[in-house]
Copies of this chain bind each other. A is one copy, B any other.
Amino acid sequence: MTGRIESRLAELGITLPQATAPVANYVPSVRTGSQVFVSGQVSNGPDGFIKGKLGADMSIEEGAAAARACGLSLIAQLKAACDGDLDRLVRVVKLVGFVNSTADFTDQPKVINGASDLMVEVFGDAGRHARSAVSAASLPLGVAVEIEAIFEVK
């Protein structure tokens, strides 16, 4: 039987990316009690890493699309942490979004909305979360956005 959230993903036409494991001494996620901490996911799409610097060579819309890609990877990692059953999500607790930007860029919230909107599209009210959105001087591989998350699960 297809889960409620899986049906919602299908309805939205969303295919989750592969939940990839880092080739290093850290892991995609750790569960402690009812909380799942997911490692920072860099913007990565079907055509490879989404690179760029907001305020220089990337529009807010492109940045929001990069943040949405991070959000898809976060959900993919959550699914892996829940043994494939996204219906075990109780609540998206927190996102911290890092935007690769110039020193005078001021629209971090509009960029990270790409991930926040996705969470509510997919999970409804359970997708509403606490959030911080800031700029990083730079990000791994030159990606445009990196987002980490805390989820509450049952």
Contact = CB atoms under 8 A, between A and B. Distances in A.
B34 A117 contact: no
Contacts of A29: 130
Interface residues of A, number: 60
Given A40-B131, A93-B32, A150-B37, A26 B116 contact: yes
A29 B139 CA distance: 27
A49 to B, nearest CB: 10
A107 to B, nearest CB: 7
Interface of A: 22, 24-30, 32-35, 37-40, 53, 55, 90-96, 98, 101-109, 113, 116-117, 119-120, 127-142, 146, 148, 150, 152
24 contacts: A25-B127, A25-B128, A28-B130, A30-B91, A30-B92, A33-B35, A37-B93, A37-B130, A40-B131, A40-B133, A96-B132, A101-B138, A102-B137, A103-B137, A104-B138, A105-B137, A106-B140, A106-B141, A130-B148, A132-B148, A134-B136, A134-B146, A135-B138, A135-B139
